[in-house]
A and B are shown apart, each in its own frame.
With several copies, the nearest count.
Chain A
Amino acid sequence: MQSNLVGEYRNDYNPNWCPGCGDYGVLRSVGMAFQELGLRNEQIVMVSGIGCNGRFPHNFKTYGIHTLHGRVLPIAQGIHIANPELCVVGIAGDGDAFAIGGGHVPHTARRNPDITYIVLDNGIYGQTKGQPSPTTPLGYKTKVTPEGNQEDPIDITRLALAYGVSFLARGFPGKPNHLAHLIAEGIRHRGFALIHVLNPCPTFHDTWKEYPAKTVEIGPEHDPNDYDAALGLIGRQDKIPIGIIYKQTRPTLAERVRVTSLQKLELKQVLSTFR
Chain B
Amino acid sequence: MDLTIRFAGESGDGVILAGEVLTYAISRIGLKIFTFRTYPSSVRGGPCLYQLRASDWHAYSQGDQLDILVAFDTEAIASHSKDLKPDGELIFDEDRTPKTYSSLRKRSLGAPFTSIAKNELRLPKARNMVVAGYVGAHIGVSKEILEEVVRNKLGSRGEELLNTNLLAINTGFGLAPKATPIALPKTPSNKIILSGNQAIVLGAIAAGCRFYAGYPITPASDILDSMVSLLPGFGGAILQGEDEIASLGAAIGASYAGIKSMTATSGPGLSLMTEMMGLSSMAEIPVVIVDAQRGGPSTGLPTKTEQSDLNHAVYGGHGDATRIVLAPGNVEDCFHQTIRAFNLAERYQLPVILLTDQSLAQLTEGVPMPDLESIKITEREKAELAEIDGFRRYAVTHDGISPMTLPGEAFGEYVAESVEHDEKGRPSFGPHAHSEMSAKRFRKLTTATKELAEDPLNVMELPDPDADLAVIGWGSTQGAIHEAILRARKNGTHVRWLQCKLLNPLPEAQLSKFLKGAKKVLVPELNYTSQFANLLRARLGIDAISLTKTEGLPFTPDEILRKIEEVA
Contacts and interface: CB of A to CB of B under 8 A. Distances in A.
A259 B236 contact: yes
B182 interface: no
B286 to A, nearest CB: 13
Interface in B43-97: 43-46
A71 B191 contact: no
Interface centre among A46, A67, A82 (most CB of B within 10 A): A82
Interface string B209-238: 011010111100100110011100111111
B369 A271 contact: yes
Nearest to B410: A42
B152 interface: yes
Contacts of B225: 143-144
Interface centre among A73, A77, A106, A126 (most CB of B within 10 A): A77
Contact of A267 (B191, B206, B248, B298): B206
A258 interface: yes
A42 B412 contact: yes
Contacts of A19: 44-45
A8 to B, nearest CB: 12
Nearest to A128: B216
* Secondary structure dominating the interface of B: mixed
A259 B259 contact: yes
A266 to B, nearest CB: 9
B205 interface: yes
B245 interface: yes
Interface centre among A68, A85, A104, A273 (most CB of B within 10 A): A68
Interface residues of B, number: 88
Nearest to A59: B415
B535 interface: no
Nearest to B279: A68
Contacts of A80: 253
A78 B253 contact: yes
Interface stretch (A50-58, A191-199, A210-218, A222-230): A50-58
A237 interface: no
B513 to A, nearest CB: 35
Interface stretch (A9-17, A24-32, A170-178, A240-248): A9-17
Contact of B413 (A63, A85, A145): A63
A131 B250 contact: no
Interface string B10-30: 000000000000001001100
Interface centre among A76, A79, A103, A134 (most CB of B within 10 A): A79
A82 B261 CA distance: 9
A103 B242 contact: yes
Contacts of A145: 228
A131 B41 contact: no
Minimum-distance CB pairs A-B, first 7? A78-B253, A74-B249, A265-B233, A16-B42, A82-B257, A78-B250, A78-B254
Given A78-B254, A78-B257, A127-B43, 5 more contacts: A47-B253, A66-B419, A82-B255, A82-B256, A271-B192
